[in-house]
């Protein structure tokens, strides 16, 4: 069973120019453990697609299924719970809570899922150690480097062992070397946990390391061959 399945997906913003669809008729399945890159020019609709796949926005046509559940059939609260349980999100800007330590930030999804404090602490510490931040547990985001902040965000996205992580330019604001390092860590967690990855990126050298590369262009999604990436 696909982790995320989109059928005939379409999005038109009410306030968009001439109400032209950003895209329509997109069909896509993300399989367990699969890593997928989404390339495309600025404005092609990559963020829009990622928001629809993650249930952060509602399509104007078609359906999204997450872990087999039809998103449009769920209440907002049910959709929120499914998101927290099945999905992780990583953005270009980390969205960590500034007043909390790295450890507390990573514990947060577990606490929201109702896990006991002691378990959340142990697991969050192990996850930060896994991304090489065992020595930064008590640092607040403002006391971490850009790469360390982004690795903390990766740890937070993966702590609930989601079936799939959705990343919108997750390494976009990092220098090349740090980006490659954070990216490598995401691939390692994919390998160890079997978490699917769907990453919007403009970095073809990173995209090339994923199982499948899609390009969003003029409202269509096309699979690129290895030679094209």
Report in angstroms how near the CB of residue 191 gets to ligand ADP at its nearest: 25
DSSP code of 115? -
CA distance 229 to 224: 6
Q: Which is nearer to ligand ADP, 40 or 147 (CB)?
A: 40
Q: Which is nearer to ligand ADP, 110 or 125 (CB)?
A: 110
Report in angstroms how near the CB of residue 145 gets to ligand ADP at its nearest: 20
Report in angstroms how near the CB of residue 50 gets to ligand ADP at its nearest: 7
Report in angstroms how near the CB of residue 102 gets to ligand ADP at its nearest: 18
Hey, which residues does 87 pair with through a beta bridge? 164
Q: Which residues bind ligand ADP (CB under 6 A)?
A: 13, 15-16, 22, 40, 42-48, 51, 56, 89, 91-93, 168
Q: Which is nearer to ligand ADP, 93 or 192 (CB)?
A: 93
Task: Name the residue among 122, 144, 142, 123 with its Cα closest to residue 133.
Answer: 144
Q: Which is nearer to ligand ADP, 135 or 204 (CB)?
A: 204
Q: Which is nearer to ligand ADP, 31 or 81 (CB)?
A: 81
DSSP code of 198? E
Report in angstroms how near the CB of residue 83 gets to ligand ADP at its nearest: 8
Core vs surface per residue 129-165: b (16+ CB within 10 A) or e = ebbebeebbebbbeebeebbbbbbbbbbbbbbebbbb
CA distance 53 to 221: 14
Torsion on CA atoms 216, 222, 228, 229, rounded to nearest 10: 50
- Separate counts of helices (H) and strands (E) for the chain: 7, 10
């Amino acid at each position: 069973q696909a982790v995320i399945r989109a059928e005939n997906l379409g999005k038109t913003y009410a306030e968009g120019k001439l109400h032209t669809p950003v895209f329509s008729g997109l069909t896509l399945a993300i399989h367990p453990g699969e890593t997928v890159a989404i390339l495309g020019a600025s404005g092609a609709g990559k963020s829009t697609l990622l928001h629809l796949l993650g249930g952060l926005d509602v399509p104007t046509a078609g359906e999204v299924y997450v872990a087999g559940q039809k998103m449009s059939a769920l209440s907002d609260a049910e959709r929120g719970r499914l998101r927290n349980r099945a999905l992780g999100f990583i953005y270009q800007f980390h969205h960590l809570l500034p007043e909390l330590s790295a450890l507390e930030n990573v514990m947060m999804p577990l606490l929201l899922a109702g896990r006991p404090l002691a378990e959340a602490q142990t697991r969050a510490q192990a996850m930060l150690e896994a991304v090489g931040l065992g020595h930064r547990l008590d640092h607040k985001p403002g006391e971490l480097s850009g790469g360390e902040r982004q690795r903390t965000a990766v740890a937070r996205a993966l702590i609930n062992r989601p079936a799939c992580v959705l990343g919108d330019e997750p390494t976009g604001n990092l220098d090349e070397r740090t980006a490659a390092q954070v990216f490598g860590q995401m691939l390692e967690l994919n390998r160890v946990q079997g978490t699917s990855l769907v990453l919007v990126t403009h970095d073809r050298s990173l995209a090339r390391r994923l199982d499948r590369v899609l390009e969003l262009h003029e409202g269509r999604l096309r699979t690129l061959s290895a030679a094209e990436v």
